[in-house]
Structure 1
Amino acid sequence: MVRIGRRWKHLLTLPACVYFLVLLLQFFSWHVTDLSAAGDCGVKQAEEMSPEDAAAAVASGTLNSPLLYRHILPPAKFEDVKFARKFSLPVPVTDHKEFFGLPAGLPPHYRISDHTNTTEINMQALVTLVKIATTITFRCNKILKQGGRTCQRVPDGDKKFCADETVAPPTRPCIVYSIGIGHDFSFDKAMGSYGCDVFAFDDDIYHDIYKRNPFPRVHFAHIRLGKLVLVDTEINNIKNSTFDFLYRPLDNIMYILQHQKSNIDFLKLDVEGQEWDIFEESIFKTDILERTRQLAIEVHMKKFCEKDLPPADLNGAINKYLRFYEGLQTRGFQLAHHEPNYMGDEGVVTVGGITFAPLAEQLWVNTRVREGRRPRYRRPIDFYVEKLEE
């Protein structure tokens, strides 16, 4: 044992005290960050806006309650791995090391719906659905992350974009449709910087704070995507006010914007569960997808989250979701990226013994895209964007 004189002991204790103090401050800062995550997200969002728009957003409360997505891998159970191998499905991931340090309170692995009576479930259709929705069939060598921010130290709002030369849109000109932006323009800003004309669409009582051109090459219209042209009125009994929502189908939007014969180089769509009806009753009845190069969509298979769902309704949901994916495949789309989105209380569901995430971010690439005509604008682009709101 090495003995050290008294005069040198304080040199050993001082670094130890400093190190302990640093650890204590770091631990405290982690908790403060977790508690103020929503505010931090709002600050980052405000930084992307002009000072006037940011002040208006804070005053209206838009930035006080941002939507926090919670991405965390559920632990794999033995029966989940067993069924995955039996039906050649992706084996659930169990490695949590890359998520070390996430704040407490994220949703654990639980099952909202547990439909295990396989005699009443169309297992063949279910297995086909999960395979198509999760199996990568197109190898993209260069996937770019466009937009997004970090809330609670977890990525949120970013979209994947395949930049391979064979499928990437031309740098200039290219057309991006961003449908369902919420209050996050980071993706639109990134695609505008890439060199595309971005047409963004969304509407609620808070979207009036955004200008027609929030960023260079980004054009924003206060409308929603629907199955047909429709005006819906929302009545707020608390504030004693009404708000009108204008819905337009995609082919109508493209006609007004002079894109009826043009390519959509990148279509981003997040309509919170309405995508199934919109595609089946509107988009699939047009040739728009045949002229769309890439599709980034968040799918919401929320029907599987309902408890005690009758077998007939469950099979109807399976067939409905399956028709959507088969419709994409018949038009030349292949899945290039799949990322489960464990948001809020949805977590994961187990249907017929197969466990999967009902919400997911997906990137589809069209391998048989049909070349369209370049748009011809006789007037400034914003002239046509304004006509969408009439």
Structure 2
Amino acid sequence: MVSGRGKAGIGIVVLAVALCLLTMSKYMNTMDAQMDKLRDVANEMENLKETIESDVSNIETKKTAPLITEPEANKALGPFRKSPANEELERIWNYVYDMQYKCTKSKYLGGKPDMFMDGAYDLCIEPQFWEKANNPDYKCLMYSFGVGWDFSFDDEMAKLGCEVHSFDPAMTYQDGMVRESGVTFHKIGISDKDLEADSNGWKMRTLKTLLKELGHNGRYLDYLKVDTDAPQGGFEDTLMQELLNTGLHQCVRQFAQEIHLMGPLKEDPKLERLRLIYDQLHQLNDQGWRLYNTTDNIRYMLKNNPQASQLYNKGQIMENKIGILWETAFVNFGVIGPCIVV
């Protein structure tokens, strides 16, 4: 039989044990919380380590723009802008066939098989110029000026996961139409000024305005393509000049264009446009752009003559209304950041 004093002693012991257990439970909970925090910190440190290693790796593997040397054949020509038409033609002719960079991984996309793949263009998929090679979830952005009823290249780019916007004011499709591939069509042309209706009744916009109106301010232009037809040749010179004037050349990762030289080059306006295009190409080179692919577009000739050559056009363009068409592709070593327009 336990006395009252004994019972009190037992109660004190039980209470002490309970308090001890409660204290230990709180301590263990605190320790668990601290361990969770330590694990979170460790995970953060591991993620930071991986990020730093990735950044260092990118820095180590990022290539610098290859130096460009004047094509040897051009050294015998007279001064630029002061030479006769035949020498100015020879200068740009040598330029487009002298590759400034070798892309080791590329895709040739689009094109019409019945027209010797007319409409196809090259995409360099090296990680430095193709962000999806680094991050498959990245949403690339492409602007394509000049469709000419051929969406094949644009559709292929959309299938690769890009947001693609195709522009052509001459087509009869509804503005804003979205194709099955996801390509969005705009009944708008590229110009050096914003017009609701030009002499053809077409809506025209500058690149800067389109970036704002379409909500792409602050994004990279991962691929920019221009293949347009016009009486003077095309609008590639208009677009190149805006890129240079606005600094938007710094946010374009890849650029493809069809260069249109139109004869007769004995006429001053045609010759001056050739000189302008050559000068623009060199200015873009100065900003880190490098030519890596040129394709002669003589497909319209090949249908009637499988042996056709661009040399025929070269021999005729001085005196005749004939064109020389080159499809060219560039990568940009001078990308600084996303497109910012105000």
TM-score, scaled relative to structure 2: 0.63
Partner of 2:149: 183
CA drift at 1:139: 0.7
- Structure with the greater relative contact order (CA < 8 A, sep ≥ 6): 1 or 2? 1
Query: C-alpha distance in 2, partners of 1:374/1:249?
Result: 14
Out of 105, 118, 125, the position equivalent to 1:156 is 118
* 1:297-316 aligned within 5 A: 297-302=257-262, 305-306=263-264, 309-310=266-267, 312-313=268-269, 315-316=271-272
Residue 165 of structure 1 corresponds to: 127
Greater radius of gyration (CA)? 2
The equivalent of 1:283 in structure 2 is 243
CA shift, 1:358, in A, is 1.8
What SS class does the counterpart of residue 131 from structure 2 fall into?
A: coil
Higher mean alpha-carbon deviation, 342-351 vs 270-279, is at 342-351
Instruction: Confirm or deny: 8 A CA contact 1:341 1:359 kept in the other structure.
Output: yes
Match of 1:327 in 2: 283
* In 1, Cα distance between equivalents of 2:324 and 2:213: 35
Corresponding residue number in structure 2 for 1:259: 216
Deviation of residue 322 (structure 1)? 1.4
Q: Is the 8 A contact 1:301 1:321 kept in 2?
A: no
Q: In structure 1, what is the equivalent of residue 183 of structure 2?
A: 218
Q: Would the aligned equivalents of 1:189 and 1:216 in 2 still touch at CA under 8 Å?
A: yes
Contact 1:202 1:223 survives alignment (8 Å): yes
**RMSD of aligned residue pairs (Cα, Å):** 3.2
Map residues 12-51 of structure 1 onto 2, 5 A cutoff.
none
**Aligned position for 1:147:** 110
Q: Which runs of 5+ in 2 are unaligned?
A: 1-70, 76-81, 302-309
Given that residues 294 and 363 in structure 1 are in contact (C-alpha distance below 8 angstroms), is that contact kept between their aligned partners in structure 2? yes
Q: Which structure is higher in strand share?
A: 1
Letter of the aligned partner of 2:131 in structure 1?
P
**Which ranges of 4 or more aligned residues in structure 1 deviate by more than 6 Å?**
none
CA-CA distance at 1:148 after TM superposition: 1.6
Distance apart, 1:373 and its partner CA: 7.2
Aligned counterpart, 1:244: 201
Give 1 or 2: higher helix fraction.
2
**Cα gap change, 1:233 to 1:175, in 2 (>3 Å):** closer
Question: TM-score, normalising length from structure 1?
Answer: 0.56
Aligned partners of 1:315, 1:373: CA distance in 2, in Å?
33
Q: Given the alignment of the two structures, is residue 364 of structure 1 paired with residue 321 of structure 2, yes or no?
A: no
Q: How far did 1:250 drift?
A: 0.4
Distance change >3 Å, CA 156–CA 212, structure 1 → 2:
same
Aligned to 2:161: 195
**86 and 287 in structure 1: CA distance in 2 versus 1, 3 angstrom threshold:** closer
State the identity %: 22
Instruction: Evaluate the alpha carbon distance shift between residue 228 and residue 132 of structure 1 in structure 2; reply closer, same or farther with a 3 A threshold.
Output: same
- Asked whether the 8 Å contact 1:149–1:156 carries over to 2, the reply is yes
Q: Which residue is 1:87 aligned to?
A: 73
- In structure 2, what is the Cα distance between the partners aligned to 1:192 and 1:281? 27
